[in-house]
Structure 1
Amino acid sequence: MRVLVALGGNAMTGPDGSATPKAQREAITVASGHLADLVAAGHEVVVTHGNGPQVGNLLVKNELAAHVVPPVPLDWCGAQTQGTIGFTLVDTLEAALSARDAERPVAALITRTLVAADDPGFTHPTKPIGRYLPREQAQALIDHGERWEDRGEKGWRRVVASPEPVEVLETRTLLVLLAAGYVVVAAGGGGIPVVRSHGGGVHGVEAVIDKDLTAALLARAVAADVLVIATDVAHAVAGWGTPDAHDIGRVTLAEMEAYAADGHFASGSMGPKVEAAMRFVRSGGRRSIITSLDQLATAVDGHVGTVIETPERER
């Protein structure tokens, strides 16, 4: 099968959330072992990944150096983290495949994601990013054109647009690589956000695209059979934090939509993952799965995790 795996932030940092280079490489090495098991089993694999902690580190550098050098814009942050995480995944995945006698070429693409210039997010940015700062420190960044909001006792925090992904522009290149037998890493952090220029080209914009929504979009664009959203829990949970809490196993799209409509998934954590999983199946995908990274090899067949499927008669 053709499988798109969306790696969550836990696959990019240490168990304690550490984002040191050593901790990141060790975590990515573990993730690559699970990815290599999929490839060794005969599946075609596309990998997307988060980049929140890595972009967070760059934002801190922006803050500390704002009085000396201009801050790096978010599209540049996305490109830089795609490059760093991408080459680390290529290195560790090649090694993991070799250890399994399953050598395959691996490539990482610096990937742009088209968004609409008139997306409401640009006029009313609401996505908080980075750390809280006192007003006097935030002011230096406000002076560079960034938008910060007073969040009360915690301090000021930057807010940016989080527009809907429209198209992954490097999809054709990705398909060429897949046809040539490559395992491909693409659309890290949801992709570098770009909009169409009046002249027909594109240019980067200050925004953060939800990585899981881009993963669902890309999975359909490359005709993936299965979308696996790998996170740090084995299942999505209904009734989280209540006596009625229970794991969600195999469900139809309609059943999962009902859970979502009843407000079972928090917007800042499981909500986007569930929405992405539903979008993939809703748009014609065969199966989407939300599960933990260590279940990856067995998840593809739909035997573990939260599995969303449309009945055969409805496809």
Structure 2
Amino acid sequence: MGWISSVLGTDKSDDPLGKLDPKLREFLEKESPVKYSASQPSPPANAPQPQSYDNNSAPVSASEAHEPSVPSASLFQDGRYADIWKTYRPLAQIEAETASDHDKLMSVLEGYKERKEAIGKAALENCAESQEEWVNCMKHGSWEDQMQMCRIQVRKFERCYTMQSRFLRALGYGSVSGRSAVVEEDIQMHADSLFQRMINHEVAVEKAKAEGLPVPVFEPAVPKPKMDMFTPSEELQQQWKEKLDKLPVEERVIEEAALRGDLQAKSVVAGKVQDIWDTQKDERQKRQAEGNSTFTDYLSTLFGKSGK
């Protein structure tokens, strides 16, 4: 009656399979995925249970402080699968390494072109109310406004778009490649706030003139030229002067700051292009020293000498 002691818990045998039929025990030991050892000690009741990971939670232990860091792109920032992520590289980095010189040049020029488009889009967003007034005038405006093709609303929108574009250019909107969208949005909001300050200043000027009071001075908070900024040539300065003389006095400071912002962006593009040409020149000289010159290298050297 060995089963009675098993039920009552009085069987102290270390091997619970010892009472089984020898053939049945042999079958279990052969077919069972879990191999049982009679000498295997049972864990104490208060022993900590092994931790397991799931998709929703990750256990916290002291050893995690020594886990290798993983890239920000990893979904497991606790260190899991760090051996896989240690060789990870962003796609943009791989494309930059494998891109040809022509692709790099086109990327730089496309970035400068996209800056102009981004400034225009941001200016339109900041002038959404003026544009809506224009559209509503064309659809539901008075007979007099529609006879004049909503001239007042059109001029208001055009001035808003022009001044917003100037503020955005002066503040460097879209001038830094790869900059955070949050920073670009802050610049866009600051440009709109400067424009609203300018409009309020114009209202205050009209009121001061009507009441015979001193006219307030508007000081736009636009970036001032820095010492390390590129200095325009004398020819370019003359072109700027001719352009600024055609504008109202109150708009000249803003337009000049916008022109300096454009010059800074163009200088950055020119610097990137020069870096690409310098890198290409170094690689060409290295191939020539190794005796692996290509026909393109020969043409580049030929035209380089003829251009001197």
TM-score (norm. length: structure 2): 0.24
The structure that is helix-richer by fraction is: 2
Q: Bigger relative contact order, structure 1 or 2, given CA contacts below 8 A and separation 6+?
A: 1
- Higher fraction of strand: 1
Structure index of larger Rg: 2
Q: TM-score, normalised by structure 1?
A: 0.23
